[in-house]
Amino acid sequence: MSVVHAVDLIIKKRDGGTLSDQDIRCFIDGVTQDKWPDYQISALLMAMFLRGLTVSETAAMTLAMAQSGAVLDLSSIPGIKVDKHSTGGVADTTTLILAPLVAACSVPVVKMSGRGLGFTGGTIDKLESIPGFRVSLTIDEAIRIARLNGLVVMAQTDQLTPADKKLYALRDVTGSVESIPLIAASIMSKKIACGADAIVLDIKCGKGAFMHDLRQARQLAETMVAIGRQTGKRVIAVITGMDQPLGRKIGNALEVEEAISVLKGETQGDLLDVTLTLGSEMLMAADAAVSREQARNQLTRALENGSALERFRMFLSAQDGDTRVIDQPERLTHASHRSVWHANQSGFLAAIETAELGRLFVDLGGGRLAKTDSIDRSAGMVLHARVGDPVSSGQPLVTLQADHQGKLDAVYQRLPDIFTISSKPVSRPPAVIDIIR
């Protein structure tokens, strides 16, 4: 086999050529084994960014990154294992509801989740706001718990996709993050390494999402579904709206409260609608339902008969979480300071600057700008109106909470720019926009 030199691959892609599977394996091996210097890795990434990647190149890149570290073997867990991934948004609490709900319908869920960065909340941060809950599990522990309960959620391990970690760090500092093939390969490599048989993707689109534009969101969704075809995985992409926060509560402990409320049947709305849509796709992907209607009926029954809530209780217990928070939410961390912002006129809530609201959440102490930042799990906000709702002058629109009054005061001054109130009725933005199979 001839030796492949880094510079030859850089020139090949720079000039618009198509990299072979061997070329891409050589590149990923060079990254993983520190054979390529950062400047050559960055040069090839920029060539990929500018010239693009074919579906075959993207699939080869995905598999090579997935195989650069450990790949979970879930074969000892009965049934078709289905994973779910969200591209991230504000008040996106779906995993906490979806995982026990799907598991209650006899579809095993083995999920590896991350911590929040920026205004995108992390499932692990939310779970860690539950006293005692343990997210740092060994692979053997996770599989044992999944066999027992049909459900486990654990923190990402450094053993998975080491190539992706290095590539993303270099893309972040060289202006090559916004490449749909590279984004798709990054996400899908982690999902494939986690060992699921099928993957349901929640592609967020709107003001509070990475993908603001529906055309780009569809392109990302179609790319990841195509990767699934190329790599033998069943992949479904659901494009969901993020022009307003998905739930009414933003914050780690607050979102746990809202998830429990949904599982108890006390809260409905967009958060539940998106959860049921994603759950229906997961059940169909696992061959547990033959139609969306049948799947939705199964999920609805699991909510109504309490089996989803009971599976959540088992989930907390198996990972050493305090199950008493289900009936005693005061056991979650609560902030010592609160401020309420009121509508300054009557009319209809026409728009929410969702990304800016997420940034305010970070400034309250609830999110992090760097992975090493500590966070206040009690910080956050509660929304009292949704886009399209009628509002009256003086009506509370949002309650802020944090551990320090100074943080509230600084954020409070920026709230007038967040909410737009119109004198005329406005349409509610869709929660589910499209499904791509």
190 is catalytic: yes
Both structure tokens of 325: 């928070």
DSSP state letters, 77-131: S-S--EEEEE---TT--HHHHHHHHHHTTT--EEEEE---BBTB--HHHHHTTST
Which residues make Cβ contacts (< 8 Å) with residue 115, sequence separation at least 6?
A: 122, 124, 125, 155, 368, 371
Q: Exposed, middle or buried, 2 (CB in 10 Å: 0-12/13-18/19+)?
A: exposed
Task: Give the Cα separation of 160 and 50 in Å (integer).
Answer: 28
202 is catalytic: no
Pick from 289, 297, 52: which is nearest to 181 by CA? 52
* Selected catalytic residue, list 68, 113, 129, 186: 186
207 is catalytic: no
164 is catalytic: yes
The answer to whether the Cα torsion of 309, 311, 312, 314 is positive or negative is positive
* Selected catalytic residue, list 190, 204, 207, 377: 190
Pick from 404, 406, 418: which is nearest to 360 by CA? 418
Is residue 223 within 8 A of residue 87, CB to CB? The reply is no
Both structure tokens of 294: 């049948």
Pick from 336, 347, 357, 322: which is nearest to 248 by CA? 357
DSSP letter assigned to residue 362: H
* Selected catalytic residue, list 25, 84, 85, 233: 85
What is the residue type of 164?
A: D
Which residues make Cβ contacts (< 8 Å) with residue 203, sequence separation at least 6?
A: 87, 211, 217, 220, 221, 237, 238, 239, 240
* Selected catalytic residue, list 25, 84, 111, 171: 171
* Whole-number Cα distances in Å, 34 to 12, 137, 167, 292, 350: 21, 28, 12, 47, 52
As a 3-state breakdown, the chain gives helix, strand, coil percent values, each rounded to 5, of: 45, 15, 40
* Whole-number Cα distances in Å, 255 to 105, 128, 416: 23, 12, 24
* Selected catalytic residue, list 23, 83, 125, 164: 164
Pairing of strands 432-436, 234-241: antiparallel
Cα 89–chain centre separation: 7
Question: Would you name the residues annotated as active-site residues?
Answer: 85, 164, 171, 186, 190
